[in-house]
Each structure stands twice: as C-alpha cells, then as structure tokens.
Chain A
C-alpha cells in the first residue's frame, strides 16, 4: 500500500529572559545545582507567582512574526501531575486561552515553498531536572538507586509552539524546525541553543493510506534536541508504524522516546500511567490582558523578517533563491551581507553574495561555527573585494588572502555597529591594513605597471616566435599560450587583464 506520513510538531522554545517566568531567579545555564532555584521555584509553602513582562513581550513578538492573532485576554492554568522535578505538583501553563492563536510559517523545500499552519503558541514554565548518576563518585547516593533533583531550570519561561498536522515527511519536518529555529533567533526571543535544551521538539507522527481523509493513530516522540535526531526519529517511527499496519497490527497512541545510539524510538512506560491533568485556571494569577498599544509597540520594534528579506534580496538585488536563502538563514548572516553592501554599494551586491555563500560559508561550515563568529569580518571581506576590484590582487590570490586571514587568530572581529567609513584609501582602517599586510606578506600583489609588463611581454614574444607566427596564422590557441608564458614570466603576479590588452596591442602592430 502507498502510505502517507502526517506530522505535527510541538516545540518548546526557551525564552531569552534574564529571570524566570514567575520569579526573580536567574535563568543562566550551567550554574551549580539549585543555586538558581529561589523560594518560588522550589515551591516553599506560601509563595506566589508573578508574571515576567519580558516573557509576555517575547510571546507577542513571536505571534506577530508568524502573522498570528494575539489574544487580548489569555489565561494561565494549572496542569496537575506529580513528578519530583515539578515542585508545585502542577505546571503553570496556558490551556483554553493561549496568548497566541493561529499564524503560519513558510519555508523552502525541494518542491518549492511549503506553508505550515500554526495552531497556537502558549507560555508556560519549564520543570527542573532529574539526575540519575553521580559522575565519578561511587559513594554517592545517586549511585545507589537515588535520583538527584536540580531545580535551576524550574520556572524557566517556555513558549510552546504547536503546528497543525501539516507536514508530510521527515524532510519537511526538519525544514519547518530549522525555519522556526532561525525565526526565534532572528526575532531575539530564544538563543536556539539545542545542546542546552533551549529549543526542543516533540513530533506527533502518524501514517495513513494515501488519499485517506482520516488521520491515523499518532505517537508522540518527545524531546528531540537536534535536527538530525528529529529526522532519524520520524523516519524510524514511520517505518515502524507502516510495518505494524502492514502486518495487520494497530498503532497504539503513546509517548515515545528516541534513542540516538540504537536509532530507534521506544515507548515511555512512565508516561503511560493514567494521566488526568485536571487543568483549571490558576487562582494565583489573574487573566493576562494585552493592550492594542502594547501590541503595536512590539510590532513597531520587529526587525524585517527573514521571508521579507529573502524576497527583497531576490527582487531588488537580483540574487538567486539559493543565495537569498543562505543570506537570510540568520539575522547575523543578513547583517554581515548588508554591512558589506553598505560599504561597497549596490554594484558590488553579487560579489558580496558570492563571497559569503561560497568562500565564507565553506569556511564557516568546516569550522562548525556561525557566520556571526567568523574571524573574517564583513569589513575585511569588503576590503578584499575592493582589492580585487582595483586590480591589486587577482580573484585567485584573494582566496589565499581570505584563508590567511581566516587562520590568523589575532584578528579582532570588527564590531558591526561601529561607524562605517566609506572605502577611501585616505580613511584610516585597521581592516584595510590587515588585508594589505597579508597581500604584502604573501607577495600576492599583481603587477599592474603597464611599462613593466610591456618589457616582459616584448621578451616573451621574442622567445616564442613560433607561437607568434601561429597566432598570426589565425590559431587562437597560440594567444593563450603567450598569456601563459607572460604570467609565468611575472611569476603569476601579472594582471591578466592588462597582459591580455598589451599582448593584443603589440601583436596587432
């Protein structure tokens, strides 16, 4: 049978506030156990929650960025269940009235543009962590059947973003997750650090015979904290469900966990215990009202969004969809690009885009870093293009300069917000000096002195009379041989364009 995969994704994006959603404790990652768990976070008797304005603003920013409705009144509810990392015995979340409703996200997939509809996005608090083994301490209670509870993460603000079941393959799911990941970072609501758990996905996966209008029974795969795991887990789960169904079995609705070592999903038995969350409005928190003024204020502060930028780069700059896509993968990429364009002007747009999407992108990938962390600054790269343009170096040599620059550890990354002088040689520029010094040190400067080149070419012609005759006899290839000889004679530093011109002029005599 031909099966269709149906996927919906729930993402928990940790909001980038400095303090927790309902308390004034810090949210910094990596602190010693429980030092960032205040009275409210450990749920001492008598303590009460007070909502963090920063979390609300970030949720609204997200809603506006995905074209959703912002609920002017939303309500916090208690989700009741017992777990040692949940100090109150309930999680404060939003249930019937979330802060964000609807919206959608568009992305490029191999068949073109794909739009995923969002159901909702709601604010909630994170739980703490249960640790099961003590590192290197055989005497520890943790090594003897105990778990340790660290509540530093308890109360960290989360935005749970829920999609409709709109994705049809693991590839689409990954494209959605990547686009969402880029967006939350772009609008500055989440640092997107997946290793630290700032961005985690749950995938709801089901299969059905293609053409069927009813959804199959779904399984929820929890806590996928990398795009690769998301892809692998979905692919495994789809295979598992299809095999089950084709063998005449049925899929049980359950929560599953992905084991990256065994590359398979398995049932989370602990979650299968009959749950009844007994949601009800939290009596400690009043309805959250968001005024039209607040919404407009936040809207006015929104940066140009990736999709709009991508379209603008294609329409106004004439860039390819691919280049526009790479340049808008993150806000830092776009800022890098736009900084170069600001310095060099519109005519250099394509050169800037090429350097970023080819040379810089490759180097960044090799190093496993982001463009924002590139040791070559946008100003340096702009100067490199200037030096190609003014004939100081060849494009080939520029690549060597780039590599040399990349490997120099002591070159400070230029501050993007620093004043941007136009590229006149009269203006002092450390970046220009960096480029020029490397060109100097590597001896890559082109010979662009016409007189000197003429001398060399006269000698080359004298030494290669056979080629001269062949050329004059109409053999075009002979011309290239002469250019090659001239380059060789200048040790590769002759400006090829000038050599061409001079050769043609002399040969025409």
Chain B
C-alpha cells in the first residue's frame, strides 16, 4: 500500500477494496508512529480528516467520485484551510486558525481529497532546510541527522516516509524542488499564474507558486489537474482553458517503443555543471541524462550566461517583496501580540521582534534596505533588470531545446545545523532553482540516484511556459525505465 500510486489507490477506492476512512486512518497511524522522529507534521486533526474521509466514502458510494476523491493529502502549513491552525511555521501565527480556505484547498476539498494534516516548513517559507520553523526542524527520513531540504521540507519528508500519498507545497526559489531532491521524491513548480496564490500566505508575490509533491511524475500530473485553474481572486492567475496534465503521459511514442522520447531536445547548460556542484550529484545527473538519451532524447548545447546572477538578484527581489508582505503581521488584527509594551510603536516593534525568527527578520531587514531611499535603483531596480536578462536567457535557450536538465541542488541533504550559521552558504543551495522563479517558468525535480551517504539526488527538468505536460511526460517515461522514484528510506516500512 505505501508505494501504491494515486491511480492505484483511486482504483482500490473505486472498487471498494479499501475505504477512504481506512486509507486515511492507515496514514494517520503512520504519522503517529513516524512523525515524532521526523517532525514533518505540525498539525494533525484526525477527527476532521476522518470526517472528510467519511464524506468521500459516501461520494464514492454514490458514484460521484472524481480522480482524487478519498485520497489523503498533506498540506504545507502555508495554505489557509478553514478551521485549521495555519501557522506558516511561525510563532507570529502560532494561534492563527484560518477563517477561510485557500483556492488550492477549496479545489482539493471539492475534488473530495482529504486534508491529512499541516506540514512543517521553514518560517514563512524562508529557508532551504526546514530548520527555521518555530516548531523545530524537520528531519530527513533517509537519515535523521540530516535536513530534508526546504522550505516545503515537511511535505517532502511526509511523502518520502510514506506518511502521505501526496502533498502540496509552495516554491518561491526552489522550495518544492530542492526538498523533493533532498528527500528522494518528485515535486513540480508550475508556470507562474497556473496555480492561484489566493490563500497561500505570501512570501514573495511575484515568485511564489504552489505545486504538487508526490512519488512519481504520474501522481504529480493528477495532483496538478486538481490544483491548477483560474481564480478571479488572484490578479496574477491566468485565464486559460483547463488542461489535462496527464494527457500525454502515455502518448504513443513516435518511432520505436524503445525510444519513446525521440525528438525531445534536452539542453544541459554548462553553467549548471561547473564549480560548486558535488561530484556525487554530478555523476548521478550525468547518468540520468545518458538514460534520457537512451530513451531517444537528443542532448543539445545551450547557455544560460547570467545563471550566476540569479541568486544575487533573487536575494534582492524576494526579501524586498517579503519585507512588504510581512508588514501585515503587526499584532493588531490576528496573530502574535507582545504582552509588555510601552506604547503603540513599542507594541509593533516588540510583537514583530518576538513573533518572527532570525532568518525572517534578516530578510525583512534586507528587503527594507534595498527598497529604502537611495538604494532602490542600485539594488531593487538593478535586480529587476537582471531578472529580465535571466528570463531572456531562457527564451534563447528554448529556441534550441525543449527541456533543460541538470541538478536540482548542488549537493545531497546536509547535516542539521551545518549551514544554519552561514546564511550565504544556505542561499547558494538555491543556485539551480531560483532562475525558474525569476522567469516564471515551470520546473520539477525527480529522483535520479544516490550520492554521498546514500542520500538521494534530484534531477531538475525545466521547460518553457506552459509545458508542464511535456515535462511530466519526459519524467514519466524516465520513471517507466528506471526505479529511483520507487526507492524508499530504510525504517519506514
């Protein structure tokens, strides 16, 4: 059961071989057993989950099931879910029971999926290790002395440890893909605007995008089918016809069956294979590229000349937007308010100093500074221009290739605390992922082998705007030919 795909689980539910209540209870039991060690979930509410499961069973019995009806899904604690504690990993929101549902949550609920619980994360999604949470760090199921990646580390660990069949996360600079890579699962960040941001607590509005995390590309496609869709409440939500992201997964190969990816041009930019890339990761990624070639894909040369500037530009733009987005946390209408203060100004300063953790405060300060008088042009505007250059690099690259592939992260999961004291070293973990957010492009990570310490390695697949289905097809074909995505950490059986 723990390795069953969403399609298989749906079939078993449809055939009444198992009920949603049983499936949900099964995963709740696994959470009860495994979560104390992993700290992947911050809120579990069995009564609520089981009530949803019972409703799903009734729906299945009435013959009104949709593809994900009855499937339990773990929600990153950044998505507002009505009646659920929604903390965003922060003391600031430690008591915030959301009075409304995010669009993604509405869609999953409407499909009949079950909210299995809220997963741990870096505070306000700011981090690459899931160590900055007010609720303590998440641990990697492959090695509990290591981090699972971040910021959606709780969702990644939940799927990796088979505590949830699938999960949802958000990705501002790699927060879905990097923990997917470090935890040995799959994760996809869609094209900006495909998934509504309504009800997703904002980190950096022009970069944030919700997406699925699961065991396989096929599962991601089914999840994205539910999550994606126009939402009038998000001005940046794109009005496009609904798309079936699974439609080409099984597309009949052009040419012989042994080469189902014939005609696919893969760009592997040299900038993603240079200094800083761990040799273990490099080797696994090279092997994956060779496998894609075996499947008929063709490797072409592409350049992303401004790739090295993506991290500096990102660490201006994201903190700038965050500094403003997080101004609403002032202790007036909800959330944390300091208990002792002299006056109004003091209440603000103390509530925010006590309610936010160190990394969040650091980024607010960076963001405030780069927007302040006299620095705006040199930093914020400069970063926006570099953002344009980076986006243009991709436009040129996608004239030569269909997908860009490379490592998701320069290294496998690192030890807890190893980079916690050096923000810059932590930020450089995002070197391969942030560009897709800056350009608004879709990108995903899938497991492609193991590196140092037997830790999983992720392969990043990135595509042009709205090519999620093509990316998923390539990943699915790879997963039909390999079994990296079916490996599971020891001790979670």
Give residues in A with beta carbon < 8 Å to B. 39, 42-51, 78, 80, 82, 84, 87-90, 147, 149, 276, 278-280, 283-286
A284 touches B96 (CB 8 A): no
Mark contacts of B367-382 with chain A using CB atoms, 8 A cut-off: 1 yes-contact digit, 0 otherwise.
0100111001000100
Choose among B80, B102, B323, B333 the residue that contacts A87 (Cβ–Cβ < 8 A).
B333
Min CB–CB distance A155 → chain B (angstroms): 13
Q: Is B29 an interface residue (CB 8 A)?
A: no
- B99-133 contact mask (Cβ, 8 Å, vs A): 1 or 0: 11010000000000000000000000000000000
Cα-based distance from A87 to B334 in the complex (angstroms)? 11
Residues of B within 8 A of A283 (CB): 204-206, 321
**Closest CB in chain A relative to B83 CB, distance in Å:** 14
The smallest C-beta distance from A55 to any residue of chain B, in angstroms, reads 14
The answer to whether A48 and B99 touch across the interface, beta carbons within 8 angstroms, is no
Q: Is B372 a contact partner of A276 (Cβ separation < 8 A)?
A: yes
Q: Does B430 contact A (CB under 8 A)?
A: no
| Chain B: minimal CB distance from A434 (Å) | 52
Compute the total of residue contacts between A and B using a CB distance below 8 Å: 96
Q: Is A284 a contact partner of B330 (Cβ separation < 8 A)?
A: no
B182-216 contacts to A, CB under 8 A, are 197-202, 204-206
Instruction: Report how far A283 CA is from B99 CA in the complex, Å.
Output: 24
A255 CA / B80 CA spacing, docked (Å): 41
Docked CA distance A284–B79 (Å): 17
Are B199 and A90 touching (Cβ within 8 A)?
no
Looking at the complex, which one of B324, B332, B334 makes contact with A278 (CB distance below 8 Å)?
B324
The distance in angstroms between the C-alpha atoms of A278 and B204, with both chains bound, is 16
Interface stretch among B33-41, B232-240, B259-267? B232-240
Distance of A62 Cα from B88 Cα, bound (Å): 43
In the complex with contacts A44-B100, A50-B235, A87-B328 CB distance below 8 A: yes
- Smallest CB gap from A280: residue in B: B371
Q: State whether A280 touches B235 (Cβ < 8 A).
A: no
Please tell me which one of the listed residues A44, A276, A286 contacts residue B334 in the complex, with CB atoms under 8 A apart. Answer: A44
Whether the pair B198, A47 counts as a contact (CB closer than 8 A) is yes
Provide the residues of chain B in CB contact with A49, threshold 8 Å: 235
* In the complex, residue of chain B having the shortest beta-carbon distance to the beta carbon of A81: B327
Main secondary structure of the interface of B (DSSP, over half): loop
Interface membership of B460, Cβ < 8 A: no
Kindly list chain B residues whose C-beta atoms are within 8 Å of the C-beta of A90.
324, 327
Complex Cα distance, B358 from A89, in Å, reads: 20
Contact between B234 and A39, CB atoms less than 8 A apart: no
Q: Which residues of B contact A (CB under 8 A)?
A: 79-80, 86, 88, 93, 96, 98-100, 102, 197-202, 204-206, 232-236, 320-321, 323-324, 326-330, 332-334, 344, 348, 368, 371-373, 376, 380
A46 & B80 in contact (Cβ 8 Å cutoff): yes
Shortest Cβ distance from A49 into B: residue: B235
Residues of A within 8 A of B332 (CB): 84, 87, 149
Q: When A284-B236, A286-B236 are in contact, do A45 and B321 touch as well, CB less than 8 Å?
A: no
A-B contact pairs, 5 of them (CB 8 A): A44-B334, A80-B323, A89-B330, A283-B321, A286-B236
Which 6 residue pairs spanning A and B have beta carbons closest together?
A89-B327, A283-B205, A283-B206, A278-B371, A46-B199, A43-B328
Query: Closest residue to A284 on the B side, CB-wise?
Result: B205
| A77 shortest CB reach to chain B, Å | 10
- With CB as the reference atom, state the residue of chain A lying closest to B348: A82
Please, which residues of chain A bring their CB within 8 A of the CB of B376?
A: 278, 280
Tell me, in angstroms, the Cα distance from A304 to B204 when the chains sit together.
47
Residues of B within 8 A of A42 (CB): 333
- Docked-complex contact A88 and B328, CB < 8 angstroms: yes
Q: Check A50 against B201 for contact (C-beta < 8 Å).
A: no
Known: A283-B321, A286-B236. A48 touches B368 (CB 8 A): no
Residue on A nearest B198 in the bound complex, by CB: A48
Inter-subunit contact B235/A45 (CB<8 Å): no
Q: Is the CB of B235 within 8 A of A82?
A: no
**Least CB distance, A176 to chain B, in whole angstroms:** 31
For the complex, give the distance between the alpha carbons of A276 and B380 in Å.
15
Q: With the chains together, A84 CA to B337 CA distance in Å?
A: 13
Q: For residue A39, which residues in chain B have a CB less than 8 angstroms away from its CB? A: 99-100
CB neighbours (8 Å) of B368 from chain A are 278
Q: State which of B88, B201, B330, B371 has its C-beta within 8 Å of the C-beta of A80.
A: B371
CA distance A114 to B165 in the complex (A): 74
* Complex CA–CA separation, A283 to B384 (angstroms): 12
Residues on B with beta carbons closer than 8 Å to the beta carbon of A43: 328, 333
Q: Once the chains bind, are A89 and B324 in contact (CB under 8 Å)?
A: yes
Distance in angstroms between the alpha carbons of A23 and B334 in the assembled complex: 20
**Do B380 and A280 touch (CB < 8 A)?**
yes
Cross-chain contact of B232 among A47, A50, A87, A149 (Cβ < 8 A): A50
Inter-chain CA distance A87–B331, complex, in Å, is 10
Provide the bound-state CA to CA distance between A149 and B331, in Å: 13
Residues of B within 8 Å of A50, CB to CB, are 232-235
Measured in the bound complex, the distance between the Cα atoms of B103 and A39 in whole Å is: 14
Which residues does chain A contribute within 8 Å of B205, judged by CB atoms? 283-284
Closest A residue to B332 by CB, please name it: A84
Cα distance, A252 to B110, chains bound together (Å): 61
Q: Specify the chain A residue showing the minimal Cβ separation from B92.
A: A45
Is A51 in contact with B235, judged by CB distance below 8 angstroms? yes
Nearest chain B residue, comparing its CB with the CB of A146: B344
Which residues of chain B are within 8 angstroms of A80 by Cβ–Cβ distance? 323-324, 327, 371
In the bound complex, do residue A48 and residue B320 qualify as a contact, i.e. CB atoms below 8 Å apart? no
Measured CA separation A39–B82 after assembly (Å):
13
CA distance A276 to B369 in the complex (A): 10
Q: How far is the CB of B152 from chain A (nearest CB, A)?
A: 16
Evaluate contact between A48 and B80: CB separation under 8 angstroms.
no
Is A45's CB under 8 angstroms from B327's CB?
no
On chain B, the residues within 8 Å of A89 by CB distance are: 324, 326-328, 330
A46-B79, A278-B368, A284-B236 known; 20 new pairs, CB 8 Å cut-off, are: A45-B88, A45-B334, A46-B199, A46-B202, A47-B199, A47-B233, A48-B234, A50-B233, A50-B234, A80-B324, A80-B371, A82-B327, A84-B332, A84-B344, A87-B333, A88-B328, A89-B328, A276-B372, A280-B324, A280-B380
Complex CA distance for A84 and B327, rounded to whole angstroms? 11
CA distance A89 to B371 in the complex (A): 15
Nearest to A22 among chain B residues (CB) is B235
Structural contact, A45 and B201, CB atoms closer than 8 A: yes
Partner of B320, one of A51, A88, A280: A280
With most chain A CB atoms within 10 A of its CB, the pick from B100, B329, B344 is B344
Which residues of A are found within 8 Å of B98, using beta-carbon distances? 44-45
Contact A284 B327 (CB under 8 A): no
Let me know if A48 and B324 touch, CB within 8 A. no
| Distance from B353 Cβ to chain A, minimum over Cβ atoms (Å) | 14
Q: Does B197 lie within 8 Å of A48, measured CB to CB?
A: yes
State which of A46, A276, A278, A286 has its C-beta within 8 Å of the C-beta of B200.
A46
State whether A278 and B206 are in contact (beta carbons under 8 Å apart), knowing that A39-B99, A50-B232, A80-B324 are contacts in the complex: no
How far is A88 from B321 in the complex, measured between Cα atoms in Å? 13
Q: How far is the CA of A407 from the CA of B100 in the complex (A)?
A: 56
Closest residue on chain A to residue B86 by CB atoms: A45
User: Which residues of chain A are near B201, meaning CB under 8 Å?
Assistant: 45-46
Residues of A within 8 A of B202 (CB): 45-46, 284
**A51 nearest CB neighbor, chain B only:** B235
Q: Give A88 to B205 CA distance when docked, in angstroms.
A: 14
Beta-carbon contact of A284 and B235 below 8 Å = yes
Interface core residue of A39, A278, A286 (most chain B CB under 10 Å):
A278
- Cα A286 to Cα B98 in complex, Å, equals 27
Q: In the assembled complex, how far is the CB of residue B318 from the closest CB belonging to chain A, in whole angstroms?
A: 10
Distance in angstroms between the alpha carbons of A82 and B373 in the assembled complex? 17
Report A-chain residues with C-beta under 8 Å of the C-beta of B321.
283
Query: In the complex, A175 Cα to B199 Cα: how many Å?
Result: 48
- Taking the closest CB of chain A, its distance from the CB of B476, in whole angstroms, is 32
Docked Cα-Cα span, A26 to B414, in Å, equals: 52
Q: Which of B205, B333, B372 has the most CB of A within 10 A?
A: B333
Give the chain B neighbours of A286 by CB distance below 8 A.
Answer: 235-236
